[in-house]
Amino acid sequence: MPRRRRPETDLKTDRWMISWADFVTLLLAFFVVMYALSSVNEDKYRQLSESLSQIFRAEGGSQVLTPPTQGPGILEGQTRPISEPEAQVEPADPVVSQQLDAIRTQAEQIFAEQIDRGQVQVSGNRLWVAIELNASLLFASGDAIPVIEADALLQPVIELVQDAENPVHVEGFTDSQPISTARFPSNWELSAARAAAVVRLLQQRGIAPERLAAVGYGQYQPAYSNRTAEGRQRNRRIVIVIARDHKVRRAVEAYGSDRISEDALNTLLIDGVDEPPSVPTLEQVETDSGILFRQASPEQEQEQQ
């Protein structure tokens, strides 16, 4: 007699109910937690408030924390007038002005040959003197290590400012040609490194380091048009600025010695004006290779106005 087989039951049809029950339980727990977080127990909050007030209250103070009430601001109803800022520019010392004039005159005599060749420019006023040197006189192309001739070229500058106490800062500029090396990822690093190299030379030759500062402007303050090779060559420059005092030096550093005039600097220091000087005009310069467009000096712009 054949054996009767037990009928098979399909248990898979009921398994989904276990997962569904777990999901509903977790969902219910989630809403319970959210409701508990959103509910505030006023009794417990009042007890906490009283406890904190007892801990932090001063003698004679209130024992219950009271909510802040809206009232006038700390500046509303103020009647005491605000005093005007005092002028930050000190009267020009005749001795210092004469000293700057002497430095400018001597620099023009020392660099007369380089000035005739267009490699050096000397300018100045009652607040500062600027000696602009073409970068090719001090550095190789794309490098910030001074060449051997740099020592002899800078020695007269060192002698001019060594006995004085005027602050000195060095400005570095490049042309618009991009540079991307491991040492100089951009013209910012190149211009700053060249300015710092000149500052280091001045310090090594006896200039007090607290008088010195270096700033790099990269390619963003061109003196000439970068459209020609000669214009780019002249834009690669180093400017040594001898200022009257530290206030003047900080103000000149903010804009660049060739971007601000003496009168504009006085206005900035006295009135505290934060707006930069007006956009400079251009002038034509005739050279052996043609005509270059150069930014007019601030003093020349004032004469034209």
**Predicted pLDDT of residue 257:** 79
What does the alpha-carbon distance between residue 199 and residue 247 come to, in Å, rounded to a whole number? 19
Read off the pLDDT of residues 1-12 as tens digits, 9 standing for 90 and up.
566 666 655 555
Instruction: Read off the pLDDT band of 268 (50, 70, 90).
Output: confident
What does the alpha-carbon distance between residue 274 and residue 140 come to, in Å, rounded to a whole number? 37
Whether 288 is in a domain gets the answer no
Instruction: Read off the pLDDT band of 117 (50, 70, 90).
Output: very high
Average pLDDT over residues 153-157: 94
- DSSP assignment of 143-204 equals --SBPTHHHHHHHHHHHHHSSS---EEEEEE--SS----SS-SSHHHHHHHHHHHHHHHHHH
Whether 237 is in a domain gets the answer yes
Computed over every residue of the chain, the mean pLDDT equals 79
Instruction: Read off the pLDDT band of 241 (50, 70, 90).
Output: very high
**Predicted pLDDT of residue 39:** 64
Instruction: Read off the pLDDT band of 262 (50, 70, 90).
Output: confident
Instruction: Read off the pLDDT band of 284 (50, 70, 90).
Output: low
- DSSP three-state, residue 285: strand
**Predicted pLDDT of residue 92:** 58
Average pLDDT over residues 276-295: 60
Query: Count of domains in the chain?
Result: 1
Instruction: Read off the pLDDT band of 259 (50, 70, 90).
Output: confident
Q: Which residue has the higher pLDDT, 86 or 211?
A: 211
CATH number at 148 reads 3.30.1330.60
**Predicted pLDDT of residue 215:** 95
Whether 19 is in a domain gets the answer no
**Predicted pLDDT of residue 63:** 47
Indicate the range of 145-149, 201-205, 246-250 predicted with least confidence: 246-250
Read off the pLDDT of residues 28-45 as tens digits, 9 standing for 90 and up.
888 887 877 666 566 666
- Domain residues for the domain of 124 are 94-278
Q: Where in the chain does DSSP place strands (E)?
A: 120-124, 128-134, 168-173, 212-216, 237-243, 282-287, 290-295
Whether 266 is in a domain gets the answer yes
Beta-ladder partners of 240: 131, 170
**Predicted pLDDT of residue 109:** 95
**Predicted pLDDT of residue 250:** 86
pLDDT at residue 75 tops 50: no
Average pLDDT over residues 190-219: 95
**Predicted pLDDT of residue 271:** 56
**Predicted pLDDT of residue 86:** 44
Whether 299 is in a domain gets the answer no
Average pLDDT over residues 92-117: 88
Whether 291 is in a domain gets the answer no
pLDDT at residue 62 tops 50: no
What is the dihedral sign for C-alpha 246, 247, 250, 256? negative
pTM reported for the whole predicted model: 0.61
Whether 171 is in a domain gets the answer yes
**Predicted pLDDT of residue 17:** 78
- Token output for 250: 């900080």
Whether 267 is in a domain gets the answer yes
* Percent of the chain residues topping a pLDDT of 70: 66
